[in-house]
Amino acid sequence: MKKLITAPLFFILGSLPLVSWAGSESGLYVGGSIGQSSAEADFDLGNSSFNVDDDDNGYKIFFGYNFGVLPLLDLGIEADYRDYGTFGGDNVETSIDSSELFGVVGLTLGPFGLFGKIGYSDTSLETGFSNLDVNSSDSATAYGIGAKLSVGPFGIRAEYETLDLDAVDDLNMISIGATYTF
């Protein structure tokens, strides 16, 4: 009975170093994602105010560098351009896009992994109200969590990301995308 338990235990422990490096592709990567954006905001334009509570399709393109220094743990940086879409309706519409820079930390278990990121966003809001166009920009903290599946240099990932903007009460995006590591 002792040999029956000991042999598989040594096999699993002996294989652990191989599993910890699998899927942990280090180096430069590029990718793109599409998804659903959601925005909630209350805007006050002098004598007029309006609310936005809407969803739209959004996309992002990104590149980053994964340092892959430690087994099981990924550390990297990532930059992206994101178009959240256009929100509102009737005679009021707000378009939101941003450029973002993130620090990324991930846990890789074979081809699967989980990651979190925190960073900085420079966001542009363009609001059209009747015959009035208002452009503004805002800098904010950005957060995100996600899961990934890597097969060699190719990867698929799903993410939830949100911004902490002053001008918008709630702005987030759920997306799915693909990556390629060089």
- The tens digit of pLDDT for each residue in 34-80 reads 999 998 877 666 666 667 788 999 999 999 999 987 888 999 999 99
pTM: 0.79
Of the chain, the percentage scoring pLDDT greater than 90 comes to: 53
Euclidean distance between CA atoms 115 and 144, whole angstroms: 8
Architecture of 2-181 per CATH? Beta Barrel (2.40)
Confirm if 122 and 136 have CB atoms less than 8 A apart. no
Model confidence band, residue 21 (pLDDT cutoffs 50, 70, 90) = very low
- The tens digit of pLDDT for each residue in 113-171 reads 999 999 999 999 887 876 777 788 889 999 999 999 999 999 999 999 999 888 778 89
Break the chain into its structural domains and give their ranges.
2-181
Q: Which two tokens stand for residue 79?
A: 């930059």
